[in-house]
Amino acid sequence: MSTVPATPTFDESALVTRAQAGDAAAFSELVEHYDRRVFRMAKQITQNDDDAEDVLQETFLKAYTHLSDFQGNSKFYTWLVRIAVNEALMKLRKRRSDRTVPLDEPIDTGEDEMVREIAVWDENPEETYSRDELAKILDQAIESLKPAYRTVFILRDIEELSIEETAEALNLSISAVKSRLLRARLQLREKLTRQFKRKGDDAFAYL
């Protein structure tokens, strides 16, 4: 195995300061560091490659244009995520306006809180599945969520924004974020349990 090339430590705030002072190389370094996460998020929200690429470009171009507005009150990446989520939601609205649910539609149905699939998992899905297989399973699980749940889950549990930052980015109340997050988590748990439950446990289905 070859060793990982020694990369200089990534100092986000130093790079941001340099980029704000007009250092193009510093900005490019920020792009190179975060592009994969922005692209993944854009793809998860829009569920479309072309839209995700547009979102990726728009996010970094906007970030560049508005770099002087970034005050350092949050992490730079959190600021970037907020730009990206707005771009992604605009794409989603455009695409969905003529067919499915708008993002602000009331989604409170009692059914969502029903808990199905109560079974323990095989010890460790990371060991049972290859990286690619696991990524596919997780992507499909996310895709199956309603957009309103999906975006909250992505921001809070994948991009690790706080509840407050998630609420602010999506223009939702704290309590709306919390209830959507809970439903998203429970629905994903159910889907993954179907996939990862200990094989022997299926036997009970015949009893």
Partner 1 sequence: MLTCKQFLRELSGYLEKTLDPAELAELQKHVNECPNCFVVCDTTEKTLKVFKGMEAKAIPKDIHSRLMAAIERKLRDKGGCG
Number of H helices, E strands in the chain: 9, 0
Q: State yes or no: residue 107 binds partner 1 (CB under 8 A).
A: no
Nearest to 12 by CA among 33, 37, 40, 41: 33
Nearest to 63 by CA among 40, 95, 41, 35: 35
Of 91-99, 121-129, 144-152, 166-174, which part binds partner 1 (CB under 8 A)? 121-129
Applying CB under 8 A, the site for partner 1 has a residue count of 47
Residues 11-40 binding partner 1 (CB under 8 A) are 19-24, 27-28, 31, 35-37, 39-40
**Which residue in the set 74, 95, 103, 157 belongs to the binding site for partner 1 (CB under 8 A)?**
157
**List of residues 6+ apart from 174 with CB closer than 8 A:** 163, 164, 167
Min dist CB 102 to partner 1, Å, is 25
Q: State yes or no: residue 101 binds partner 1 (CB under 8 A).
A: no
Cα–Cα distance, 54 to 94 (Å, whole number): 13
Please report, for residues 43, 49, 109, 137, 156, the alpha-carbon distance to residue 92 in angstroms, rounded to integers and kept in the order given: 11, 12, 23, 22, 19
Query: In the complex, which residues of this chain contact partner 1 (CB under 8 A)?
Result: 19-24, 27-28, 31, 35-37, 39-40, 53, 56-57, 60-61, 64-65, 67-68, 113, 115, 118-121, 125-126, 134-135, 138, 157-158, 160, 178, 181-182, 185-186, 188-189, 192-193, 196
